[in-house]
Amino acid sequence: MLRVIEVKAEENYKLYLKYNDGVAGYVDLTNMVGLGVFEKFRDETYFKNVKIGSFGEPCWNDELDIDPTRAYLDITGKTYEQYLREKK
C-alpha cells in the first residue's frame, strides 16, 4: 500500500512528500487555496501544520486531507493506469 512517510509544508503552498517506495518530491497546492474546504489554507499557519494521517495521507488536524495517490501521480508524472500496471 502506498503511504506517505515524510511530509513538510514549504513556502508558497508546496508540500514535500516522501513515500514508502522511495519516491519523493513536491506537490504544488496553490490552485486549491481558498476553494471549498481548502479555504482553511488561506491561514498559512494552518497549512504548515500538515501531518501524516493514519492511512499514510497528508492531513491537517484530522479535518482535511489530500489523496496520497493523486499527489504521487503529480510527483512522478504518471497516469493512474501506468501506476496500476507498475504495481503488478
CATH code, domain with 81: 3.30.2020.10
Confidence of residue 86 (pLDDT cuts 50, 70, 90): confident
What's this model's pTM, rounded to 2 decimal places? 0.91
Domain that includes residue 38, residue range: 4-87
DSSP for 34-74, written as a single string: TSGGGGGGGSHHHHHTEEE-TTS-EEETTTEE--HHHHHHH
Kindly provide the b/e burial profile for residues 44-56, where b requires at least 16 CB atoms within 10 angstroms of the residue's own CB. eebbeebebbeeb
pLDDT tens string 22-50: 999 999 999 999 999 999 999 999 999 99
Q: What is the distance between the terminal CA atoms of the chain, rounded to a whole angstrom?
A: 12
What lies within 8 Å, CB to CB, of 49 at 6+ separation is: 9, 60, 61
Q: Please tell me the total count of domains within the chain.
A: 1
Mean per-residue pLDDT, 7-21: 96
